Amino acid sequence: MPKNENVYGYAGKILRVNLSNGEIHTEPTLKYAKEWLGASGIEIKILYDELRSWVTPYEPVNKLIFSAGVLVGTTAPGACKGSMSTLGPVTGGWASGCSDSYAGGELKYAGYDSVVIEGKARTPVYLWIHDDCVEIRDATHLWGRTTWETLDMIRKELGDVTLHTVSIGPAGENLVRGACVIQDKGRAFGRCGTGAVMGSKNLKTIVVKGTGGVRVANPELFMDIVAKVREMFKKSKSLEDMRKYGTLGGLSNKQKICGISYKNFQECVIPDDMAKAIDPRNTIDKFEVARQSFPGCPAGCSRHLHITEGPYAGLKTESAQMEAMGTLQGRLAIWEPAFMFKANAYCNQLGLDIDAAGGPIGWAMECYQRGIIDEKDTDGLTLNWGEADVVLELIRKISYREGFGNILAEGSARAADIIGRNSSYYAMHIKGQELYEQCRGSLGWCLGTTTSTRGGGHTTGAVGDSRPGVDVEKGRLIFGVDNPYTPLEYKGKAKMVMYMEAVHRVNNCLGICHMNTIHWDVEHIDLPQLAELYSAATGWETSVEDLKRMAMKQLNLEKAFNLRHTDFDRKDDLPSPRDMSEPIPTGALANWKMNKKKFHKMLDEYYDLHGWDRKTSFPTRETLVDLGLEYVANDLEKIGKLGSN
């Protein structure tokens, strides 16, 4: 099928692959693009329309969709994100993750915006996409290999050291619920269990190579906007530290705002002497050997390390991000400075989401501390806080579903249900999704995390409302609230979260890294710049209000998708029992406790802004019809999940 000469920004085609019968065909991206923006927006449209309510995550009829954002493959700053969505095994509903991805750019250059994969291969296979040639190849020799080994073997097999892969490791092959898909060796399509769905299809890896390009509608205007946006980054107060350490440079701020887990969220800060000992900046300064950036990124936050001393001497890996320090190092109270890099690398090799490791292990360690479980449950392992070797062994056991690891592989919520013994209180999750986020002490972060349609997570609406040194006046202008950076103030947070829900979805659809936007720094890219870039790239004049509307349309379809496949309602948009009932024990916010009545009032305001039923959280017919989703309203009415006005 020749490329559509009238399509700009988009590659123009969506690739469809059925692994059960080997059928491969394409359809025009324009079937979806004007209404659904791109990437994750198109993904949820396809999944909602094509998956019946009885479909479960591991059935062959489930679909796994890999996409590149609209601006990926252009010179737009930060346009380096790939997207992957499916019906997921963690929450049982909407599952979606983004990753820095060279493969995403290659997909666009090969002429495709998305790859929709369905069916199940009889034996392990991999998908080899090179321009118009698409092959389903045997992967029995790759099955059982780590993601790192898979990349090396593919490059050797196909004779090209420049190839990029998105692969699963043993965790995905063994259907570990929190298995993820790894871009090359160091970046993950995190959370949600996309790797387990890929494993259920016997699909080991997707390899992409393209020799084409991406055309924009108005090249001169587009480059002028790119130059203007790049000038914005010169005002950034945070970019220098980001370039040196990535998000790991934020440890000191996390300590100041009570924003990091210690011993499975028993504390909201780690001990000062531990923080000093594990400060990742020291490790990076000591062991950095090279920098890495993804296409178009002004920050270049990646580092390559060669650990030359200590228990992990010899490790060569990409540096970790803040989440690894929070969910693996601090949460499990491990003092060895290089542990976060070792554990992060090990999870990447095995294709295990780091939250799907730290969450259930943190739950197990607290249960062990409290005498709920003992060595008879844990295969003889002593689960004391700070035991790094035990944690690494549990990561391995989870990935291969061995012994006690088979229970932890289900995630903390299900593991607590299996074990019982009143252990569910210590399973820190939202909608079954492991929490990395510290919900106590930052109400904008908390609200965006708890209401997230993909389960607990800060990248679909959470707003950083407690950042020292931020331009408060600019924050007021962006969010339209009087006091945006007052983390313990309930008022205005719903409005801020709704704005950030739009920003995050537009970012994901266009392929823009959140760290290049106001998610990280108010001096970075916001919706006005994204609207300008999208308009110049596609030739479709699009305003900020247009972007907001498309984002809310996507959010409502995600919500409806969950309602068809799960029993989620208002009760599932609440913080964990610990976060709702325990005060912060130490740190700058010591003794602060969430007010349940005020939280529920904030949640009411959030539902009102979205046009959702306060009692149930369900969208109303009026809201859905206004967004052009009348057929969705009809679907929800049939199953008794349409909200009342």
Last residue of some domain: 209, 227, 261?
209
Asked if residue 537 is part of any domain, the answer here is: no
Q: How many CB atoms lie within 10 A of CB 86?
A: 27
Cα 152 from Cα 83, distance rounded (Å): 23
pLDDT > 90: percent of the chain? 90
Start-end of H helices in 233-311: 239-245, 251-256, 272-278, 280-287
- Tokens 């269990």 correspond to what residue? 193
- For residue 394, give the amino acid letter: L
| Widest CA span in the chain | 68
Q: Are residues 569 and 477 in the same domain?
A: yes
Strands annotated E in 203-325: 203-209, 288-292, 302-306, 316-318
Domain count, the chain: 3
Mean pLDDT, residues 261-267 taken together: 97
Q: Are residues 195 and 281 in the same domain?
A: no
- Banded pLDDT at 468 (limits 50, 70, 90): low
pLDDT at residue 242 in the model? 87
- The answer, yes or no, to whether residue 2 has pLDDT greater than 80, is no
Asked if residue 221 is part of any domain, the answer here is: no
Q: Are residues 245 and 291 in the same domain?
A: yes
Q: Are residues 260 and 358 in the same domain?
A: yes
- The answer, yes or no, to whether residue 494 has pLDDT greater than 90, is yes
pLDDT at residue 3 in the model? 44
Cα 81 from Cα 592, distance rounded (Å): 38
Mean pLDDT of the chain: 96
Q: Are residues 500 and 605 in the same domain?
A: yes
Q: How many CB atoms lie within 10 A of CB 566?
A: 16
**Residue 58, Cα to own-chain centre: how many angstroms?**
20
Q: Are residues 245 and 199 in the same domain?
A: no
- Banded pLDDT at 5 (limits 50, 70, 90): low
Asked if residue 400 is part of any domain, the answer here is: yes
Q: Are residues 277 and 186 in the same domain?
A: no
Structure tokens at 461: 């609406």
Q: Are residues 314 and 251 in the same domain?
A: yes
pLDDT tens-place string over residues 176-226 = 999 999 999 999 998 999 999 999 999 999 999 999 999 999 999 999 999
Asked if residue 524 is part of any domain, the answer here is: no
Asked if residue 572 is part of any domain, the answer here is: yes
pLDDT tens-place string over residues 321-350 = 999 999 999 999 999 999 999 999 999 999
Last residue of some domain: 189, 209, 229?
209
pLDDT at residue 243 in the model? 87
CATH of residue 625: 1.10.599.10
Q: Exposed (0-12), middle (13-18) or buried (19+): which is 290, by Cβ within 10 Å?
A: exposed
pLDDT tens-place string over residues 292-330 = 888 888 888 888 999 999 999 999 999 999 999 999 999
Asked if residue 628 is part of any domain, the answer here is: yes
Q: Are residues 547 and 627 in the same domain?
A: yes
pLDDT > 70: percent of the chain? 99
Last residue of some domain: 403, 434, 465?
434
- Helices then strands, each counted (H, E), the chain: 26, 17
Q: Are residues 20 and 115 in the same domain?
A: yes
pLDDT at residue 54 in the model? 96
Half-sphere exposure of 266 (CA within 13 A, CB side): 17
What 3-state class would DSSP assign to 263? Answer: coil
Mean pLDDT, residues 20-26 taken together: 98
Q: Are residues 162 and 115 in the same domain?
A: yes
DSSP, residue by residue, 22-82: --EEEEEGGGTHHHH-STHHHHHHHHHHHS-TT--TTSTTS-EEEEE-TTTTSS-TTB-EE
What residue numbers bound the domain in which 407 lies?
241-434
Asked if residue 147 is part of any domain, the answer here is: yes
Asked if residue 574 is part of any domain, the answer here is: yes
pLDDT tens-place string over residues 66-89 = 999 999 999 999 999 999 999 999
Dihedral (CA of 468, 472, 476, 478) sign: negative
**Residue 405, Cα to own-chain centre: how many angstroms?**
24
* pTM for this predicted structure: 0.97
Q: Are residues 494 and 592 in the same domain?
A: yes
pLDDT at residue 4 in the model? 46
